[in-house]
Chain A
């Protein structure tokens, strides 16, 4: 029954379905979850696992069905793996900044403050002895 379908096509199809499911679930999390800090979980998983699986499926398709290697997918996924945490961190920083300026926290409340001797890195001056501390000198 499935003997006529080559293995590469099975692999590519499974990876495409997996990646698209992750993208859908990530966007569903963006709609469903109550506050911004929780909402950031879904799309970051969609961008790493979802797009990673879809790009791996694309590599598998072009190699095992068409018989040629493509490297663009590796570039795209490497770039996304590097930038997804940075953009999530930037959005979280903007959110903390707006909360401090009197923005309304979501139903889950504001994020808990760090320990009493420190503050969020967004607001604190760099500690002495760390690479960013040259501004104090």
Chain B
């Protein structure tokens, strides 16, 4: 029998190209595999390669072999020659090469989709609702983000962490920033402004009016946002801005006193005299004109005025100054807050042309200045943006505290009621409850740094295992967080609770290992890598370091956080019911989350770091895990049959349950998730019309130990007639349907037609009217024992 042979001269590569056959390449590949098994003889590899060539020439007589076909024959040859271990290594080597190649292809495919698909078509472009995926900068951010993730997965992450993330056992959040920075920070605005600060070019002096205070607050948020990938919050906003109000008041007082002196007392250069007297009183008696007007300043001023004007005029002159100064400062503060809200909604300074994620915590400053800030911030938010739109940022967190803002006799109770009224219209503020036992334990009256603050997303940083003498919120934040796919563990456990906890244990250990690895990378960074966050002393203790110092130690004030998603689906998989519908499931849920919290505490103790547990604020993640699980395990009713896993420990959004029952079920989880938590209720009906019901729910949250809560209700707006409220099919004000026109005459009749030119009309809110609003008077008897009289129909949301 004639064995036909042909010289192999070319091969076909994976991309289809035909290239010259090089025996050396096969020898090299075999040699690599041999080395792994301890054989360092290149000659052996050459010989085997020769055998491969022989087989190729026998089998491929009429066309060139492909790379795949060659590799098959290499494996076969190795096995036949008795090199079975080497064959195995070769197979692994192939698999690894394939995986890397596929990753490159996958990355290129992602880039292709980013480039050519619109955001509507491409889910990745909508991973983060804050980014406009259709813009150049939004897309560029995505290119960078996807490329970075790929790189880290291949070359930086420990293989077992990369594998766990890739396969959806865990999710490493913000992996695109793995080697670059930390998550977020609670900015101490009082400390930052004291003496002025720098943003990289030029020094900003300590501001001198409420307008500058508010502008600088925006700049601080923006600057810090450039150094971190997460949100920026100010935990002491009212206290910080109060100084600005005081400065503005003094200016306004002296300006008006000056006018009064000229007009009423015929004194030339009234302002000069007013200032001279004020400086003298400050120098000699340490007093200034203040809003409260109860410090003796006016008495001291009156004494000095006697020397200059008719004493009979003093009372009128001073009364005029106080009256006008009060009104003008109130107006100045309103405008400063209005500008702040506008700024925080429009400055595109975060990567990808995003607006910084800003959060403001306030509510406990009871000084007249602080109260003026809170009141006007709320009113400006209520008024909305230029056309009355609901501002998206900042996220407002109103701090509720017995003795300060919660009870009718409390000094800031009126502001709490105003907060409810504004939230009923604008969805913010959210409410933080300082009396929840796990928050109260840190509270020291009079020290705002000990008042719990929440990031808008729900992150909470207050305890401090690393430095128990500084259990404060200012200058601290989260370093990174990683979430566990709880439902998957439950699915795999097949109803066996012991197996579930064993597997959970292993996953937990993996996550701790990964968080610590990431921390090690972060710890190697230096102050100069964070020009504002560290360079300007925003992060706690960074002002004690020089530009080239490493930041590992001071970072330990931050938190490493373990997260989870889908407790409801987990319980459904384990017991057949979720915790909204079954007490047993709820008990198991508390066991599971309690167990995770205990392990976090142990790990924190072991490593001397702040390791906390959070109910993950999942956005992209909510779909990612369930997608992978459905592919792997199929459709499991109540578990993988939806396109998302329920957020953290929440009762599923689709489950009909009363607001109060939902809160009762979720409240105990707040105590366990020390890294952050939130509970929402979803309401129908126009809450603007029923602020009392709104307040009742908030009060209930406080009473059952919720840490951070919020009320969701539809906030719709018709840009044509300006109506804000519930809009179903047609606008309740002008009657038009979505996308359809309405007659100009109709708008005229409604009184919302404003014709600025012949080509456009529209509604603009009356800012002056809204600025003059005062909080509603209190009816104490009603507030004390309020029970809700409104029942809202339970219905599915329809869009």
- Binding between chains A and B: no
A residues near B (Cβ < 8 Å) are none
